[in-house]
Amino acid sequence: MAYNLLKGKRGLIFGALNDKSIAWKIAEKVCEEGANIVLTNTPVSIRMGEIDRLAEKCGTIVIPADATDVEELENLVEKGRAHLNGNFDFVLHSIGMSPNVRKGRTYDDLDYGLLSKTLDISAISFHKILQICRKLDAINRWGSVVALSYVAAQRTLYGYNDMADAKALLESIARSFGYIYGREKNIRINTVSQSPTMTTAGSGIMGFDNLMDFTDRMSPLGNATAEECADYVITLFSDLTRKITMQNLYHDGGYSSMGMSFRAMKIYNEGLEYRDVKNDKSKVEKQ
Ligand SMILES: NC(=O)c1ccc[n+]([C@@H]2O[C@H](COP(=O)([O-])OP(=O)(O)OC[C@H]3O[C@@H](n4cnc5c(N)ncnc54)[C@H](O)[C@@H]3O)[C@@H](O)[C@H]2O)c1
């Protein structure tokens, strides 16, 4: 059901690769809510993914840009607002990639050149987008900027690797730039810390199926889906949330406030019984 929450607003959406992408679901939803948008991704992702199909659905264009490249971002911002006939009211950063994860380098054996790339793609790109938008004065007063984050910024999760550092930096950039843009133009900047979600980027994380099962068991409301994330993000782009800024907002079914749940404990107990049975023959005989 649509509420016309974004009627007449203009937006720039980074990171829709295919119909599993969180940015894809958000793009669909902002269009349903009446916004006009411009989509962007890297040239290679545009070729390999399905973003053209999304553009057709939303009646818009895709402007290629590598979010680590300042010149390409400047070109994107200029062309994007020209296409929309005006400045942006909202911007979505839904970008993440770790070359260390891709190459199987563990956190205690990082390649530092690749670490720089992880940070550049997944976090510093957010600063670049904000800095360019500000210099070109491309976001309207009371605009809203959201980036997607993950709880690994606060807590250590096995296998998340250098993306944890990237997310910590991303959230810090939201606060630091949120102060500047808020004070100057009432523009708010927040990160949404989403549950594990089965997407191309998500499934690159080691043991992702088990992680999703664990977080679902730990969350009283269960894992949040990409569609539910889109529902949340449209409220952040709308005028109903104009005084929320510089926050990391958990959208995770309650996971981040949990220590242990009954549903997770149950699996753990079953695992222990299995271990006891395996290690203790007398127990096997008793059963
Ligand atoms: N999937 C999850 O479990 C999960 C959980 C929490 C947060 N997130 C975050 O959500 C965001 C979106 O990821 P997703 O899960 O939808 O996966 P996805 O693979 O669909 O999206 C990642 C996007 O980043 C883009 N990208 C990579 N390098 C880029 C560059 N240099 N310039 C511009 N774009 C680039 C890719 O083309 C892709 O569209 C990421 O920030 C991710 O860390 C994902």
Write the CATH number for 150. 3.40.50.720
218: number of CA atoms within 13 Å, CB side? 17
* Cβ–ligand 1 contact at 199 (below 6 Å): yes
Residue 285 pLDDT > 50, yes or no? no
Q: Kindly report, residue by residue over 158-206, the tens digit of the pLDDT.
A: 999 999 999 999 999 999 999 999 999 999 999 999 999 999 988 888 7
* Cβ–ligand 1 contact at 97 (below 6 Å): yes
**Pocket of ligand 1, candidates 21, 125, 219: which has the most ligand atoms within 8 Å of its Cβ, to mutate?**
21
In a domain, 273, yes or no: no
Give CA–CA dist 22/276, Å, rounded.
42
In 3D space, the residue among 257, 253, 170 whose CA is nearest the CA of residue 212 turns out to be 253
Predicted pLDDT of residue 281? 54
Lowest-confidence segment of 141-145, 218-222, 273-277 by average pLDDT: 273-277
In a domain, 278, yes or no: no
Q: In the chain, how many domains are there? A: 1
Q: 126 is written with which tokens?
A: 């957010």
Confidence of residue 284 (pLDDT cuts 50, 70, 90): very low
In a domain, 279, yes or no: no
Residue 287 pLDDT > 90, yes or no? no
In a domain, 202, yes or no: yes
* Cβ–ligand 1 contact at 68 (below 6 Å): yes
230-248 average pLDDT score: 98
**Model confidence, pTM:** 0.96
In a domain, 71, yes or no: yes
Domain that holds residue 36: 10-259
Predicted pLDDT of residue 280? 67
In angstroms, how far is CA 4 from the centroid of its own chain?
24
In a domain, 271, yes or no: no
In a domain, 5, yes or no: no
